[in-house]
Amino acid sequence: MPKMKTHSGAKKRIKKTGSGKLMREQTNNQHLFEQKSSRRKRRLNLTKPLSKADEKAAKRLLGLR
């Protein structure tokens, strides 16, 4: 059977850390920055771990098992 291909959308959005955690970018950090405070923009710049509920599906999309 052929190899499973990595989901192109998922690989652009989710990164695996060295310890095995899945990290994602935060939402609301692409446009309309003029009305957002500097503090809010700074906090949105950080990555967050993927929720436990989404981990199983994300690992399958990335080809991690």
What's the average model confidence in pLDDT over 7-15?
96
Give residue-wise pLDDT tens across range 45-65: 999 999 999 999 999 999 987
Which residue in the block uniquely carries the two structure tokens 């920055």?
33
H helix or E strand, kind and range, residue 16: strand 14-16
pLDDT for residue 65 = 76
pLDDT for residue 1 = 83
What's the average model confidence in pLDDT over 34-42?
97
pTM, full prediction: 0.81
Strand partners, 49: 23
Domain boundaries, the chain: 8-26+35-62
Closest C-alpha to 20, from 50, 47, 43, 46: 50
